[in-house]
Amino acid sequence: MLPARELTLNHRTRTIRVRLKGDRVLAMDNFGANFTFFDRF
């Protein structure tokens, strides 16, 4: 079983946190946006 891990993506104006399990995204920062594809971090 793969462990979950966290990754930080640095964009020009924001830092986006992502939670991964293998190559699957479990959650991602959504900055208050509605109807996002991934669960909220």
For residues 25 and 28, what is the distance between their CA atoms, to the nearest angstrom? 7
pLDDT, tens digit, for every residue of 1-41? 899 999 999 999 999 999 999 999 999 999 988 888 898 88
How far apart are alpha carbons 41 and 8 in whole angstroms? 12
pLDDT at 18: 96
The amino acid sitting at 39 is D
| Helix-, strand-, coil-residue percentages of the chain, each rounded to 5 | 0, 50, 50
